[in-house]
């Protein structure tokens, strides 16, 4: 009887999703004829009419109004997301690395978040800056466009981002599209607090559904008010009112979004009395604030991160003409871990900043696993050694490195060992990591904040929608242990780190092959082209 009911429910779910897909396609078609710059935005009159239909039907069916409102917002986000046809994968992306020892020696990816912060600070100060090299990803481009809407003179070309000299930023009476990354939203909000006035902030699907309550609680103490404008969504679009007196000190509690603290620290130099941020010394805010302190110091604002306190004085930033950002510890960690799966070595040129807590945690974790990690002023490298039979792997409290810790546990288990990974405080990241292990058929258990992985034969069926770029990176490493891993959304990692898949497909060296070099140089890549040479 239960099997029959389960099939009935599954059939209803399948039809419901088919209808949702058709609805999304119609929303895209409806938006395509409008000349608005934001074609992913449903026409307000249409949205109001649709909600009236939902509301009336919900009353007739006795559905909870609050849940119905959230479901309506989610259904609309499917329409907005589908408005990017270039992002839709033609089919599952199968991960098939070349079975050869790694021989990487490449420029390492530069710090993603610190790069964004440096560029935002230069724009706010109206100072010229050349940021080079950078990882030009979607969040950085979206931030550049948003800051330009507030009067910045930012541009980019290749691996370079530029800030032109100017009067600074003015958010009053502006409509700012912040993209789809929370850090961008918080940077724009924090920078706006230096002035007075009102502005409207809009954003992508994920920011429409974020809860602004915890953010508003902090902003009130800084003389600002942030209120959602759409009754159907708890997040953006929102109205920001700013300009009242600010308290000199703000506490970052456990419910305060991690990205809000760094944004406030980065903008605090522009506040009349600066700002002191108070937080739990053992909590996750310390690592997040360290990135803001790095960007402030790179841009000529003296700031020291103390246990439980980060004080930024009012200052005039001495932004240098050029900044070469340090290596990104999270992204580099996945490349430096490659020898644990493929053997060989990996060397990344660039400056490894040991002052970042995550940099220290990555170095300690990889060394403890048995990889031969060497750090110089201009390079960080790792070399394969025998993995231990027993290992406890931890890279700190950041959720970005939890998928890597699980991947390394599987590498130890594949060689007959037993490994434990510390689970992050982020419950969602932990649950997604356990779901990845289940998809792989791994033998594991959880106990007292640890995930214990034992030897087992990995397997993979169908494809999986990767929950985020760091899970895609982890699966790229795990593909050395179990072939046939396939993901539905490789573009999620492409938008975050555009250079990774070309690097992965060019292993073991990671260097472009002759065909890729010819295409990059503008040569005709068409196969079968012949040139007849005549002898005179």
Q: Name the percent of the chain lying above pLDDT 70.
A: 89
Q: Which residue has the higher pLDDT, 327 or 33?
A: 327
Maximal C-alpha separation, the chain:
89
Least confident of 31-45, 87-101, 366-380, 393-407: 31-45
For the whole model, what pTM was predicted?
A: 0.86
DSSP secondary structure string for all residues of 57-99: HHHHHT--HHHHHHHHHHHHHHHHHTT-GGGS-SS-EE----S
C-alpha to C-alpha distance for 415 and 410, rounded to whole angstroms = 9
Least confident of 72-81, 387-396, 438-447, 484-493: 72-81
Least confident of 72-81, 128-137, 337-346, 385-394: 72-81
Position 534 pLDDT exceeds 90: no
* Three-class secondary structure of residue 244 per DSSP: coil
Residue entry with tokens 């770029």: 469
Domains of the chain: 2-87 (1.20.59), 93-108+327-520 (3.65.10.10), 112-323 (3.65.10.10)
**Sheet of 322-323: strands edge to edge?**
154-157, 160-163, 129-131, 322-323
Position 525 pLDDT exceeds 80: no
Rounded-to-10 torsion of CA 179, 183, 187, 188: 20
pLDDT at 261: 98
C-alpha to C-alpha distance for 20 and 24, rounded to whole angstroms = 6
Rounded-to-10 torsion of CA 394, 139, 109, 87: 100
Question: What is the pLDDT averaged over residues 137-164?
Answer: 97
pLDDT at 325: 97
Position 80 pLDDT exceeds 60: no
User: What's the mean per-residue pLDDT of the chain?
Assistant: 88
Question: What is the pLDDT averaged over residues 370-375?
Answer: 93
Using alpha carbons, select from 73, 71, 82 the residue that is nearest to residue 25: 82
């Amino acid at each position: 009887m239960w099997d029959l009911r389960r099939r009935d429910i599954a059939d209803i779910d399948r039809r419901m999703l088919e209808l949702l897909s058709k609805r999304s396609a119609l929303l895209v078609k409806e938006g395509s004829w409008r000349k608005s710059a934001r074609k992913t935005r449903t026409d307000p009159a249409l949205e109001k009419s649709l909600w009236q239909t939902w509301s009336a039907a919900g009353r007739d069916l006795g559905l909870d109004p609050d849940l119905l409102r959230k479901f309506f917002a989610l259904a609309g986000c499917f329409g907005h997301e589908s408005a990017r046809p270039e992002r839709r994968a033609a089919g599952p992306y199968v991960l098939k690395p070349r079975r050869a020892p790694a021989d990487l020696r490449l420029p390492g990816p530069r710090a993603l978040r610190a790069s964004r912060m440096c560029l935002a600070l230069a724009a706010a100060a109206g100072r010229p800056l050349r940021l080079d090299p950078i990882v030009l990803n979607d969040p950085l481009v979206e931030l550049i466009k948003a800051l330009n809407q507030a009067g910045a003179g930012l541009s980019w070309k290749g691996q370079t981002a530029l800030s032109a000299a100017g009067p600074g930023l003015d958010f009053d009476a502006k409509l700012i599209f912040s993209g789809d990354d929370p850090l961008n939203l918080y940077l724009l909000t924090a920078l706006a607090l230096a002035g007075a006035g009102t502005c409207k902030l809009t954003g992508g699907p994920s920011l429409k559904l974020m809860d602004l309550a915890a953010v508003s609680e902090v902003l009130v103490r800084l003389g600002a008010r942030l209120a959602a404008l759409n009754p159907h969504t708890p997040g953006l679009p929102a109205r920001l009112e700013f300009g009242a007196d600010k308290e000199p000190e703000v506490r970052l509690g456990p419910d305060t979004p991690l990205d809000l603290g760094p944004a406030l620290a980065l903008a605090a130099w522009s506040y009349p009395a600066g700002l002191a941020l108070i937080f739990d010394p053992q909590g996750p805010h310390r690592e997040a604030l360290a990135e803001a302190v790095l960007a402030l110091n790179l841009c000529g604002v003296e700031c020291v991160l103390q246990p439980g306190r980060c004080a930024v004085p009012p200052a005039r930033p001495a932004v240098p003409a050029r900044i070469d950002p340090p290596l990104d510890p999270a992204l580099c960690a996945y490349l430096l871990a490659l020898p644990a799966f493929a053997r060989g070595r990996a060397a990344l040129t660039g400056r490894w900043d040991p002052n970042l807590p995550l940099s220290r945690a990555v170095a300690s974790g990889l060394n403890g696993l048995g990889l031969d990690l060497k750090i110089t002023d201009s390079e960080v490298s790792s070399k394969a050694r025998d993995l231990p039979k027993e290992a406890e792997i931890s890279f700190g409290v950041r959720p970005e490195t939890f998928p890597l810790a699980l991947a390394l546990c599987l590498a130890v288990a594949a060689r007959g060992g037993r490994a434990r990974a510390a689970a992050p405080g982020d419950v969602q990241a932990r649950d997604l990591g356990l779901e990845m292990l289940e998809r792989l058929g791994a033998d594991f258990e959880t106990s007292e904040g640890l995930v214990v992985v034992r030897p087992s034969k990995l397997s993979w069926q169908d494809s999986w929608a990767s929950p985020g770029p760091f899970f895609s990176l982890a699966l790229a490493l795990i593909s050395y242990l179990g072939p046939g891993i396939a993901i539905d959304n490789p573009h999620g990692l492409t938008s975050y780190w555009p250079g990774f898949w070309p690097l992965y497909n060019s292993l073991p060296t990671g260097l472009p092959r002759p065909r890729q070099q010819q295409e990059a140089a503008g040569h005709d890549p068409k196969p079968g082209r012949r040139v007849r040479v005549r002898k005179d």
